[in-house]
């Protein structure tokens, strides 16, 4: 079971949740479950909340902590494939941090 990382843009018309539209901007699929396993074994508080069967929605306000935690895991990684994966996750997180209308969805299977 993997955890896909989706950068989503949110459009909100009015204050009703019915006016909320979410659409994907970019995504990173995790079919081999590498990101899910990394999160499950992580000691980082936000990463350890990632659930391979649920969706965790992170907003721009969550990005400083999320980016810090991913950078910590990246620095500790000795595996090239995991390093590449985390660099791609970081790229999506930085894009999310740069736009008020973006969210990062960590989408379990």
How long a stretch of residues is the chain? 109
What pLDDT is stored for residue 98 in this prediction? 97
Find where tokens 């508080």 sit.
Answer: 45
> Please, which residues bridge with residue 90 across strands?
none
Over residues 31-50, mean pLDDT: 95
Mean residue pLDDT of the chain comes to: 94
pTM for the model stands at 0.91
**Higher-confidence position of 66 and 20:** 66
Q: Look at residue 12 and tell me whether its pLDDT is greater than 80.
A: yes
Distance between CA atoms of 82 and 90, rounded to whole angstroms?
A: 12
| Residues 55-92 pLDDT 10s | 999 999 999 999 999 999 999 988 899 999 999 999 99
Other Cβ atoms closer than 10 A to 78: 6
Share of the chain above pLDDT 70, in %: 100
């Amino acid at each position: 079971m993997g955890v896909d990382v989706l950068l989503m843009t949110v459009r909100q018309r009015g204050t009703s949740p019915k006016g909320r539209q979410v659409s994907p901007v970019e995504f990173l699929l995790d079919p081999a479950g590498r990101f899910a396993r990394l999160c499950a074994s992580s000691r980082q508080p936000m990463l350890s909340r990632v659930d391979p069967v649920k969706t965790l929605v992170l907003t721009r306000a969550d990005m400083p902590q999320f980016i810090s935690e991913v950078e910590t895991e990246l620095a500790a990684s000795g595996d090239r494939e995991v390093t590449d994966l985390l660099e791609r996750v970081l790229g999506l997180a930085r894009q999310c941090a740069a736009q008020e209308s973006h969210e990062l969805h960590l989408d379990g299977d």
